[in-house]
Amino acid sequence: MLKSKAKKPEFVADRAARRIAVGVAAVSGLFSLVVCVLLIANYVQVRAADPLDNPELLRLRERLSASPEADEALVEEIRALDLLSRKAFFTSQAHLRMGGRLLLIGAAVFLIAFRLAARWNPRLPARQAGTDAPAQRRAIARTRELVSGIAVILVLAALTAAYMTPTGIPAPGEAAPPDTPGPDAVAESVMPYPSWEDMLAQWPSFRGPGGFGVAPCATAPTAWDGDTGAGIRWKAEVPLPGFNSPVAWDDRVYVSGATDTIREVFCFDADTGELRWRQALPAFPGTPGTPPDVTEDTGYAAPTMAVHGPWAFALFGTGDLACFDVDGALVWGRNIGVPDNHYGHSSSLIALDGELFVQFDDKKQPRLLALDVATGNEVWVAQRSRISWASPALMPTESGFQLILASELDVDAYRPDTGALLWTEEGLDGEVAPSPTFSGSTVFVANEYAMATAIRLDTVDGAVQSEIAWQWEDSLPEVASPTSSADYFYIATSMGEIVCLDVASGEPEWAQEFEQGFYSSPIRVGDRIYAADLKGTTHIFTTGAAFESIAEPRLGEPVYATPGYFANRIYLRTEQHLMCIEGNGE
């Protein structure tokens, strides 16, 4: 039995519906045409001239370049105008993205209304003399297809123009226009990069100068009480949550905070605790509309900031990285990519000699970046094979600094100036969060469910050589990073143990158990170790072959972040507050 052919849908005339459809098609078509023209014109304009090429800004920079002496007022004027230009640029890019979305919606409405208007036509077109009905219907159909095709081509052209419009300022590694002083020239003319000696007098990064858990000062307070306020110079509320630690430079203390919708940087007065400024990050090109998934233990503001003289840097779980000056003006900002890892991004920032180092451990493309502190441009990029949640540490050696990174398997060392790999050793396993430390020429790493590993370094004919000296497999840290003295390494675990290991042999000298575990990393201050537990009690004990407690002051609030030790003060962050503890250090 032959199947009957499917019948074509019958013509349904509806005069009122057709008028509405014609009106909607006309309005949406005109709207889409205007948006198309604007997007294409924007593409032509941006291609013809840099959107940030402000003539007034260039004139001011030329004045600064020609000036024989530093002009602070002129520098501030340049910063203000540059910030205004960047904000305008970011706003224009937001409008560009919105225009693309509106064009798609308008085009879809036009095509649907155009089709419906033809379907609801109350009268069939009059048959022209000498033309058969099928041919006339085909001609009408081709006309509708031609109109639809032209509309699709215009939409595609406009969307292509929007996609091809440059959205970066400036692109990574892109040089400034010839003979045009950029932000780096402005910065260098009045702000030399801090030396290593300058950094040793500050608290510029996670776990202090170099990021290896040793304070530059010889003493710190030993007595305070959170209930009575004794020994606490000031206590300030931090407006947004974050697990990052405080950093300090001169008279300013910095922390960051974030939720799934906002990312902010806070600057507090080191003497009074007054909030000097707070700045929210704008949406940079590449900032995700939907934030990545993170765990509650990580959040969106886990990476500790870095300070490098007049620049303060903050990195967030969305991949947004921003640089502010001491007064809160945005110097530069960019999105370095949305991190793909199952806990969220937590590796902290560190800087040296005018370069900011970012350990960006993304599962798809893990890498180490060196950025110019004044511009955010890439100086070099080193690809990595494995990720971690640890932070980099800078190790000064006789042959120069080494940038030490831990991964899920390896410990790697890079040259800070070029990114060249100096050495690598397999000494870890699992999901690594604790960061490296060192004592003398021995690098030390540890992680729960793996091994603690000591790597001894030597320089032979100018080349760095590494070898595993010893390993330890008991009482390992989950979150807290180890610290060191001249003769010993110290491990604090989430189970409440602190272990002292001999640097030379790896033999345990002592192990002490406490009621609470440790997420905050222990820090050595002179001949003492400071370790804050999860309930806010700081255990202070001497370095040496025997455990000797000095004090156990209580704060009364949970502590997860590692405190900063600077100028005989302790800057300590709890879940909601930032505190300054001051004393005589006895």
Range(s) of the domain holding residue 433? 191-582
Q: How confident is the model at residue 562, as a pLDDT? A: 98
End-to-end CA distance of the chain: 104
Whether the pLDDT of residue 261 is over 90: the answer is yes
In terms of domains, do 233 and 153 share one? no
Q: Closest Cα partner for 345 from 356, 337, 333, 354?
A: 337
Give 471-481 pLDDT, tens digit per residue: 999 899 999 99
299 neighbors 266 (Cβ within 8 angstroms): no
- Token pair for residue 89? 């640029």
Q: CB within 8 A of 48, min separation 6: which ones?
A: none
Position 401 in a domain: yes
Whether the pLDDT of residue 140 is over 80: the answer is no
Q: Closest Cα partner for 32 from 135, 171, 156, 208?
A: 156
- Token pair for residue 562? 């590692």
Q: How confident is the model at residue 180, as a pLDDT? A: 34
Q: Closest Cα partner for 582 from 349, 571, 408?
A: 571
Give 170-191 pLDDT, tens digit per residue: 433 333 333 333 444 444 434 5
Strand partners, 248: 203, 253
Q: How confident is the model at residue 113, as a pLDDT? A: 73
**Candidate from 113-127, 227-241, 414-428, 503-517 with smallest mean pLDDT:** 113-127
> Which of 35-39, 149-153, 306-310 is predicted most confidently?
306-310
Q: How confident is the model at residue 458, as a pLDDT? A: 92
Q: Closest Cα partner for 248 from 277, 288, 208?
A: 208
Segment 30-42 shows an average pLDDT of 70
In terms of domains, do 150 and 221 share one? no
Position 132 in a domain: no
**Candidate from 136-140, 312-316, 376-380 with smallest mean pLDDT:** 136-140
Whether the pLDDT of residue 311 is over 70: the answer is yes
Q: State the pLDDT confidence band at 459, using cuts at 50, 70 and 90.
A: confident
Whether the pLDDT of residue 324 is over 90: the answer is yes
In terms of domains, do 90 and 218 share one? no
Q: State the pLDDT confidence band at 109, using cuts at 50, 70 and 90.
A: confident
Whether the pLDDT of residue 503 is over 80: the answer is yes
In terms of domains, do 144 and 211 share one? no
- Token pair for residue 303? 């990476």
Q: Which one is predicted more confidently, 548 or 57?
A: 548
Q: How confident is the model at residue 297, as a pLDDT? A: 85
In terms of domains, do 285 and 227 share one? yes
- Token pair for residue 247? 């950093």
Q: How confident is the model at residue 336, as a pLDDT? A: 94
How many separate domains does the chain show?
Answer: 2
Give 44-59 pLDDT, tens digit per residue: 655 555 444 456 655 6
In terms of domains, do 199 and 64 share one? no
Q: State the pLDDT confidence band at 135, using cuts at 50, 70 and 90.
A: low
Rg (CA), the chain: 31
Q: Given the structure tokens 């959170």, which residue do they identify?
A: 226
In terms of domains, do 503 and 451 share one? yes
Query: For the chain, what's the residue count?
Result: 586
Q: Which one is predicted more confidently, 110 or 568?
A: 568
540 vs 278, 363, 473, 492, 498, CA distance in Å?
33, 38, 25, 13, 12
| DSSP state for residue 480 in the 8-state scheme | P
Position 9 in a domain: no
Rounded CA-CA distance 158/164 in Å is 10
Whether the pLDDT of residue 556 is over 50: the answer is yes
**Candidate from 36-50, 284-298, 387-401 with smallest mean pLDDT:** 36-50
Whether the pLDDT of residue 169 is over 80: the answer is no
**Candidate from 163-177, 307-321, 537-551 with smallest mean pLDDT:** 163-177
Ramachandran class of 568: left when φ > 0, alpha when ψ lies in -120 to 50, beta otherwise:
left
Q: How confident is the model at residue 58, as a pLDDT? A: 56
Q: CB within 8 A of 336, min separation 6: which ones?
A: 319, 321, 358, 360, 369
Q: How confident is the model at residue 148, as a pLDDT? A: 61
Burial of 289 (0-12, 13-18, 19+ CB in 10 A): exposed
In terms of domains, do 151 and 262 share one? no
Segment 344-364 shows an average pLDDT of 92
Q: How confident is the model at residue 340, as a pLDDT? A: 83
Q: State the pLDDT confidence band at 450, using cuts at 50, 70 and 90.
A: confident
Q: How confident is the model at residue 282, as a pLDDT? A: 94
Which domain CATH number covers 256? 2.130.10.10
Q: Which one is predicted more confidently, 129 or 480?
A: 480
Position 41 in a domain: yes
Residue 509 φ/ψ, nearest 5 degrees: -90, -40
In terms of domains, do 267 and 163 share one? no
Q: Tally Cβ neighbours within 10 Å of residue 285.
A: 18
Q: How confident is the model at residue 97, as a pLDDT? A: 58
Q: How confident is the model at residue 137, as a pLDDT? A: 58
Rounded CA-CA distance 368/412 in Å is 11
In terms of domains, do 210 and 305 share one? yes
Output the average pLDDT for the chain.
Answer: 83
Position 65 in a domain: yes
pTM above 0.75, yes or no: no
237 vs 232, 264, 275, 519, 564, CA distance in Å?
14, 14, 9, 21, 17
Position 172 in a domain: no
Rounded CA-CA distance 400/462 in Å is 11
Whether the pLDDT of residue 165 is over 80: the answer is no
In terms of domains, do 403 and 446 share one? yes
In terms of domains, do 351 and 286 share one? yes
Q: How confident is the model at residue 17, as a pLDDT? A: 77
Whether the pLDDT of residue 373 is over 80: the answer is yes
Rounded CA-CA distance 234/244 in Å is 19
Position 174 in a domain: no
Rounded CA-CA distance 420/417 in Å is 8
Rounded CA-CA distance 356/324 in Å is 13
Q: CB within 8 A of 315, min separation 6: which ones?
A: 303, 305, 321, 345, 348, 349, 358
Q: How confident is the model at residue 179, as a pLDDT? A: 34
Q: How confident is the model at residue 187, as a pLDDT? A: 40
Q: How confident is the model at residue 145, as a pLDDT? A: 65
Position 147 in a domain: yes
Q: How confident is the model at residue 172, as a pLDDT? A: 36
